[in-house]
Amino acid sequence: MILRYTLSWFILVFAAIINGAIREAVYKNTLGELRAHQVSTLTGLILFGAIIWGLSRLWPLPSAKAAWTVGFIWLALTIAFEFLFGHFVAGHSWSKLLHDYNILAGRVWLLVLIWTTIAPYVFYRLNNHPRS
């Protein structure tokens, strides 16, 4: 089960790339870079939520521990991808990559990392403890 979810992380990467491409092509010039980043973060959270909900229905996680394990694996993969791909493939400087972590400057990327980490557990709980 953990392997399936680990490989499913690539679905999240694909969704994030599509989300970013839409931001760049459709509304970045109209909203400006910061607002576009914030809107893209919100749409990314919604998109990730829909994908993770679907995965949780397709492959129900067996325990809260498994859900947290998946969340932390996805967190590690996301951060590694962001920094390794961003620096060594895309050629971004380390300071540019760290810029999205500055919540005081309105950069809300941390919300994506938090949601990616906790969403498997959130959907595990919702699937296993529905309201009456």
Angle at CA of residue 114, ends 108 and 119, nearest 5°: 130
127/56 Cα distance (integer angstroms): 8
* pLDDT tens-digit map of 35-52: 999 999 999 999 999 999
What is the C-alpha separation between 78 and 87, in angstroms, rounded?
Answer: 14
| DSSP one-letter string for the chain | -HHHHHHHHHHHHHHHHHHHHHIIIIIHHHH-HHHHHHHHHHHHHHHHHHHHHHHHHHS--S-HHHHHHHHHHHHHHHHHHHHHIIIIIS---HHHHHHTT-GGGT--HHHHHHHHHHHHHHHHHHHHS---
98-105 contacts at long range (C-beta below 8 A, 24 or more positions apart): 100/37, 105/34
**pTM of structure:** 0.91
| pLDDT value for 130 | 63
Q: Assign 131 a pLDDT band (cuts: 50, 70, 90).
A: low
